[in-house]
A and B are shown apart, each in its own frame.
Chain A
């Protein structure tokens, strides 16, 4: 757990995350606009709407611009013969070791946004935990899934 895992996830992950963040931000901005309209109609204090707008700008900057980038930089993974090694987390950086023989099953998942960039999320479950590697290219993801499921052999003795 000294050296970090070698591989970065697909660069397009940043874009995919940004799009989903933008969708949430649109909802936020609709609320803010609604508040603006109310302020205009009923002469509310301008203070509230300005605070809301400032919060909106800050949120948009962080969730759309900064966080996806940081998240991408931190997300790393490496697959060895015996184990999967994952690193993630912006404020708290976490590194996880998942031995192949502990893997119960592997799934890939692809929502509409990820699909647009031909990306997929791989989820690896052990008997106690579930881990995911987000946004791998389609080929990498299915490759990984196949590799893990051939390498993973449930040790019946130990359950």
Chain B
């Protein structure tokens, strides 16, 4: 990681020092008609004292496991030593958080955002304002109570979600910082400032919000129902270990004695509660969702309690993906997300959602308005050749077929269970095969495939594709089949890979030719003749 950063920094320096680039920089400076007032400066500041609290919480959260084990270990010796341990630890952590807060400062100086921190090892991190790609402001419940915000500053490099985080900043100060950064940050594909301003004036900012009705549907079909049911099942199966046996048995007996009507009523109630939890979860996550199109970027805002913001510059959008979960597909609802280079809302969601729920037929218009170029995402895809079907079936069913034999041998009376699963998995395999496909345009490509739950349709541009890889194993070679994979930049350094398995060899070659810069040039040359 270190190495990569160094390397990038080195490249950066090299580029800045090279004569062509000097000229480039120079030119762009001249073009800027907006008067560049003197170097933006922001005096050194500490975080709001609440920052101490946040760093304390963070340390405790990160080391809760160790603390727990330590406490238990001490408790075994004697309760007093456990108390001492916790007390000592608390004092130590409090001192640490106070010290680290007092050592943490940020300022803007000489065209750089400078952050200094560290108690024993002092770390200084200077980021050139030119390299800062975006700055995000968010606020959770605690932040809101004391009128603070969290600031995250991102550069284009490495893709570690947020490069710098200021955990507690007064709202006023955050906007001051934003103003200073805005003046200097990169306006990518480097159009001159006037251009941007004109465009900004010409293009009315379109905004799309989600209705509560739609959110309600999104929550109902969110699939959390399944997850929660599984969790409950797991809890039930584990319950015997934690609850004393007689109580457990008594409860079970009690339930069995109750009338069927009551049991049905109870399970309906449980289901309703689960469904309600799903809806609530979705509302909290996506409440107040809005997406706004600005001149150079998309601006997404969401969250009922914790308002989160995300700015996505257009040139960082690598691909658009449409997800149709098994629960939503029959009703024609989809979710739209973007594959982007660089950070997203959080690490659990590497590819930010551009719209949580939408009717399939509304999608093209939405895409045309917000991310033009992707509006043909529902182009009919070329399905796979029939001969690929068996691979999908085998892959899907293999586990259960193998499981059948031991079950037949040891528990013949239960053999219907694996047989049921074999049939089900066969159906799933058939569906996965049926829905896989690709489509090629002059400049774009569409890959469509089904995971277990989601049908995913991905569309990207030729210039976003990093590499293409075709692979064949022996059987595929004999049958003229192949697997094709295209790689895009992902949010983490490893890239995002899309693979379509068991397509016809000819189709894989066609995709390869579509990607090949050499073949493209040849074709162009032929056209010109």
Chain B residues near A159: list those with CB within 8 A: 156, 315-316, 341, 489
A 33-90 contacts with B by CB, 8 A? 80-83, 89
In the complex, the answer to whether A131 meets B467 with C-beta atoms within 8 Å is yes
Given A158-B315, A159-B156, A128-B518 contact (CB < 8 Å) = no
Contact A128 B515 (CB under 8 A): no
**Whole-angstrom distance between the alpha carbons of A141 and B426 in the complex?**
49
Of the listed stretches B51-59, B391-399, B470-478, chain A binds B470-478
B495 to A1, Cβ gap below 8 A? no
A127 located at the interface, meaning its Cβ lies under 8 Å from any Cβ of chain B in the complex: yes
Question: CB-nearest residue of chain A relative to B316?
Answer: A159
Q: A105-B7, A129-B495 are in contact. Are A95 and B471 (CB under 8 A)?
A: yes
| A3-29 residues at the B interface, CB under 8 angstroms | none
Q: A157-B315, A159-B341 are in contact. Are A128 and B489 (CB under 8 A)?
A: yes
**A2 touches B (CB below 8 Å):** yes
**Within 8 Å of chain B (Cβ to Cβ): is A132?**
no
**What separation, in Å, do the CA atoms of A94 and B469 have in the docked complex?**
7
Q: Chain A residue with minimal CB distance to B133?
A: A159
Q: Is the CB of A82 within 8 A of B467?
A: no
B189 within 8 A of A: yes
Complex CA gap A99/B469 in Å reads 12
> In the bound complex, how far is the Cα of B516 from the Cα of A100, in angstroms?
11
Q: Flag whether B468 is at the interface (Cβ < 8 A).
A: yes
When the two chains form their complex, are residues A97 and B512 in contact, meaning their CB atoms are under 8 A apart?
Answer: yes
Judged by DSSP, the binding face of B is mixed
Q: A82-B518, A157-B315, A158-B315 are in contact. Are A127 and B489 (CB under 8 A)?
A: yes
The answer to the question of B132 belonging to the interface, with a C-beta cut-off of 8 Å to chain A, is no
Binary A-proximity of B315-340 (CB < 8 A = 1, otherwise 0): 11000000000000000000000000
Distance A158 CA – B463 CA, assembled complex (angstroms): 7
Determine whether A102 belongs to the interface, using a CB cutoff of 8 Å to chain B: yes
CB distance from B302 to the nearest CB of A (A): 26
Interface string of B291-331 (1 = CB under 8 A from A): 00000000000000000000000011000000000000000
CA distance A98 to B469 in the complex (A): 9
The docked-state distance in angstroms from the alpha carbon of A150 to that of B477 is: 36
Question: By the criterion CB–CB under 8 Å, are B472 and A126 in contact?
Answer: no
A82 pairs with B495, CB closer than 8 A = no
- B467/A157 in contact, CB under 8 A: no
B517 interfacial contact with A, CB 8 Å: yes
Q: A100 CA to B520 CA in the complex, in Å?
A: 14
A131 to B477, CA, bound (A): 23
For residue A155, which residues in chain B have a CB less than 8 angstroms away from its CB? Answer: 463
Does residue B245 face the partner (Cβ distance < 8 Å to A)? no
How many contacting A-B pairs (Cβ < 8 A)?
91
Known: A94-B471, A95-B469. A158 touches B464 (CB 8 A): yes
Tell me if A126 and B467 are in contact (CB < 8 A). yes
A30 beta carbon closer than 8 Å to chain B: no
- Across the interface, which residues of A come within 8 angstroms of B472, CB to CB? 92-93
Expressed in whole angstroms, the Cα–Cα distance for A96 and B488 within the complex equals 14
Contact B470 A128 (CB under 8 A): no
Residue of A nearest to B471 (CB): A94
Contact A96 B467 (CB under 8 A): yes
Q: Is the CB of B487 within 8 A of A129?
A: yes
Residues of B within 8 A of A128 (CB): 466-467, 487-490, 494-497
B521 at the interface (CB under 8 A from A): yes
User: B368 contacts the other chain (Cβ, under 8 Å)?
Assistant: no
Let me know if A83 and B516 touch, CB within 8 A.
Answer: yes
Contacts of B516 in A (CB 8 A): 1, 82-83, 97
Report the minimum CB–CB distance from A41 to chain B (whole Å).
39
Residues on the A chain within 8 Å of B508, using CB: 1
Closest chain B residue to A89 by CB distance?
B471
B200 interface residue, CB < 8 Å from A? no
Q: Which residues of B contact A126 (CB under 8 A)?
A: 466-467, 487, 495
Q: Is the CB of A97 within 8 A of B467?
A: yes
| Contact partner, A83, options B11, B156, B488, B517, Cβ 8 Å | B517
B28 contacts partner chain A, Cβ-Cβ < 8 Å: no
Residue B513, interface by CB 8 Å:
yes
* A2 nearest CB neighbor, chain B only: B509
CB-CB contacts below 8 Å: A84-143 with B: 89, 91-102, 105, 126-129, 131
- A91 to B471 Cα, complex, angstroms: 10
Task: Pull 17 A–B residue pairs with CB atoms less than 8 Å apart, ordered by A.
Answer: A1-B468, A1-B513, A1-B516, A2-B509, A82-B516, A82-B518, A93-B473, A94-B469, A94-B471, A95-B512, A98-B467, A126-B487, A127-B489, A128-B487, A157-B188, A157-B189, A159-B341
The 7 closest A-B CB pairs, nearest first, are A128-B495, A1-B512, A82-B517, A94-B471, A128-B466, A128-B487, A126-B466
Q: A93-B471, A94-B469 are in contact. List 5 more A-B contacts (CB 8 A).
A: A92-B473, A95-B471, A96-B468, A126-B487, A159-B315
